[in-house]
Amino acid sequence: MTEEIVVIPGDGIGKEVVPAAVSVLEAVGDFEFVEADAGDAVKEETGEALPEETYELAASADATLFGAAGETAADVILPLRTAVDSFVNVRPAKAYPGVDALRPETDLVFLRENTEGVYSGHEDRLSEDLSTLTRVVTTSASERLAEFACDYVADREYDGFSVAHKANVMRETDGRFRDAVVSVAEDRGVETDEVLMDAFATRVCLDPTQFDVVVCPNLAGDVLSDLAAGLVGGLGLLPSANIGPERALFEPVHGTAPDIAGEGVANPSATIVSAAMLLEYLGYDGEGRRVRDAVEGVLADGPRTPDLGGDASTEDVTNAVLDRLD
């Protein structure tokens, strides 16, 4: 293991949880870490939330681990997703034993399209009164996502996946998305079912076990995965992976948590599980599994940070994870 991993703590609790995850990565492997800046603080100093150098590092590293950015979140994370050419954002939302959850039976994975939809960046101010945004959907991006989804469910022995969309209103664009995804799945012999994104929002609350893997356009994936976070007890536990053809970017779904930043009590679990996804992405499946098991053990038995009702520090939790890795 001598892969280069770029590490971008960012702002707020990013500076606490990323070092925690790095110490876990160090415990199971021998990587070369390169630290880089991004976020509100660097913007204040340099005028740029995402320095060119950071972008270039992410664009050439094997993998990048990002923490969180504050006000500048969109200016940092959207270009970073582009830097690694990521076409899918993998967002597992799973309730853990020992953690209070509104729906403890939740175990979902969102595969979110990561390049287009309303994230296209094309907006125009056409008059004093009127602005427009051009929502973009291509068959090629939808098919690439669908191929990934088919591999994903095959590797993990799921029966198939659901496609969440709003093609009853966005007939041409989400119709294109749905048709492309379903047709790839048919060719690959993977079962799919369809659900309108609004109906998904109701149904997942009533019974999250109706769904396993959910493939969706960019904004639908953003909102529906955050909804699932609400069912499992908050954003604090959700990891994510932005996967491209040659490199990838891993990040907890949570933000900078300004209310507790600097106190050393941030929950590092989401970032450590994101690091487990990074290990698996690089082919270290055994190590990834060990890290996940360690985090799950600590979530079940403690110690716990205040967000989970405990009074442990980030360091206590990290040390407990490290102990379980020995």
Ligand X SMILES: CC(C)[C@H](C(=O)O)[C@@H](O)C(=O)O
Q: Quick one: what does residue 224 bind among its own copies, ligand X, none, with the CB cut-off 5 to 8 Å set by partner type?
A: its own copies
Q: For its own copies, which is the closer residue by CB, 39 or 233?
A: 233
Environment class of 72 (CB within 10 Å of its CB; exposed 0-12, middle 13-18, buried 19+): buried
Residue of 85, 107, 226, 293 marked active site: 226
Tokens of 251: 């990040």
Residue 161: closest CA among 151, 170, 169:
151
One-letter amino acid of 275: A
Quickly count: other Cβ atoms within 10 Å of residue 5's Cβ: 22
Residue of 187, 198, 207, 285 marked active site: 198
Binding mask 135-174 for its own copies (x = CB under 8 A): xxxxxx-------------------------x-xxxxxx-
Question: Could you tell me which stretch among 74-82, 142-150, 154-162, 313-321 binds ligand X (CB under 6 A)?
Answer: 74-82
| Catalytic status, residue 198 | yes
| Catalytic status, residue 94 | no
Residue 94 near its own copies by CB under 8 A:
no
Residue 203 near its own copies by CB under 8 A:
yes
Q: Scanning residues 213 to 232, which ones bind its own copies (CB under 8 A)?
A: 219, 222-224, 226-227, 229-231
Q: Which of 174, 222, 287, 307 binds ligand X (CB under 6 A)?
A: 222
Residue of 166, 281, 307, 316 marked active site: 166
Residue 136 near ligand X by CB under 6 A:
no
Task: Report d(CA 19, CA 7) in Å as an integer.
Answer: 9
Minimum Å gap between C-beta 93 and its own copies is 10
| Catalytic status, residue 166 | yes
Question: Could you tell me which stretch among 43-51, 73-81, 209-217, 306-314 binds ligand X (CB under 6 A)?
Answer: 73-81
Minimum Å gap between C-beta 181 and ligand X is 20
- Please report where in the chains the tokens 């939302």 appear, as a residue: 93
Residue 102 near ligand X by CB under 6 A:
no
Q: Tell me the pairing of strands 63-68 and 248-252.
A: parallel
The runs of H, that is alpha helices, within 165-284 are 173-188, 197-206, 218-232, 269-281
Residue 204 near its own copies by CB under 8 A:
yes
Secondary structure (3-state) at 248: strand
**Alpha-carbon 140 to chain mean position:** 22
How is 43-111 classified by DSSP, letter by letter?
Answer: HHHHS-SS-HHHHHHHHHSSEEEEEE-STTHHHHHHHHHHHTT--EEEEEEE--TTS--SSTT-EEEEE
Residue 154 near ligand X by CB under 6 A:
no
Minimum Å gap between C-beta 244 and its own copies is 20
Quickly count: other Cβ atoms within 10 Å of residue 257's Cβ: 22
Task: Report d(CA 220, CA 110) in Å as an integer.
Answer: 10
Task: Report d(CA 216, CA 35) in Å as an integer.
Answer: 32
Tokens of 298: 């600590």
Q: Quick one: what does residue 77 bind among its own copies, ligand X, none, with the CB cut-off 5 to 8 Å set by partner type?
A: ligand X
Q: For ligand X, which is the closer residue by CB, 34 or 219?
A: 219
Q: Which residues bind its own copies (CB under 8 A)?
A: 73-74, 78, 102-103, 118-119, 123-125, 128-140, 166, 168-173, 176, 197-199, 201-206, 219, 222-224, 226-227, 229-231, 233-235
Active site residues: 119, 166, 198, 222, 226
Q: Which residues bind ligand X (CB under 6 A)?
A: 73-74, 77-78, 168-169, 198, 222
